Structures are given as C-alpha cells and as structure tokens.
Amino acid sequence: MSADSITLWKQRIEGRKASGLKVDEWCNQNQISRHAYYYWYRKIKDTESEQKSIPVFAEVLANNQIQEVPSRESGISITWKDISITVNDRESIELAADLLRCLRSQC
C-alpha cells in the first residue's frame, strides 16, 4: 500500500462525501467498483486508527473505589476491591476496560 495510493483514495473518499452522492451512484459515475471503494475505505480507516495513540493510563472514578495505577512503561495494574488485574500489552487494554465496565454495572 503506497503513500500515493492512500493519498489518492483519501481524496476520492472525501470527494464522494462532498458530492452528496450515495456510494453506488458515485462509483458508477467515476467508473470505480463498489468493492474497490469499500476496500480502500476500510484500509484508510484501519491505518488512521493504528496511528491514533492508545492511552496507557486513564483515571476511573466511581463510588466503588476503583483504582487504576500505572505500572511499568508497557502496562497497567488495576485494583478493584480484592481483585487485581495487570495488563501488559496495548491490545488487552480495551478488554480490561470492558471488564471494568461489566464489574461496575454488576456491583
């Protein structure tokens, strides 16, 4: 995936949005397959989401005294009541956040 291709498709996608046309209509007018449009749309969205930084530390405030304490560079430790969770990789941070939401709603 070259930078030129990404730039071209970003321009095309923005142009489609600005036109107000539905994807199928725009693709027909520009002789681009619907499959190609959505392929590049997903690629660009994935690239943009990879470039956004994921916070390693976030303060959680709740009545149940949930504490989130930063640990070493690459992870966090979460202590809630008598439960302690350590997350060492960025992919698991969202899972830990879901677990906290679940615990918070159940208790």
**Residue pLDDT, tens place only, 3-33:** 888 889 999 999 999 999 999 999 999 999 9
Q: Give me the pLDDT at residue 17, please.
A: 92
Q: Give me the pLDDT at residue 64, please.
A: 56
Check: CB of residue 87 under 8 Å from CB of residue 78. Answer: yes
Q: Give me the pLDDT at residue 98, please.
A: 77
Predicted confidence (pLDDT) at residue 71 exceeds the cutoff of 50: no
Q: Give me the pLDDT at residue 35, please.
A: 94
Q: In what order do the strands lie in the sheet with 67-70?
A: 67-70, 76-80, 83-87
User: What percent of the chain shows pLDDT beyond 90?
Assistant: 33
DSSP state of 68: E
What's the CA gap between 91 and 73, in Å, rounded? Answer: 15
Predicted confidence (pLDDT) at residue 92 exceeds the cutoff of 60: yes
- Computed over every residue of the chain, the mean pLDDT equals 76
User: What percent of the chain shows pLDDT beyond 70?
Assistant: 65
Burial class (CB in 10 A: 0-12, 13-18, 19+), 76: buried
**Which amino acid makes up residue 16?**
R
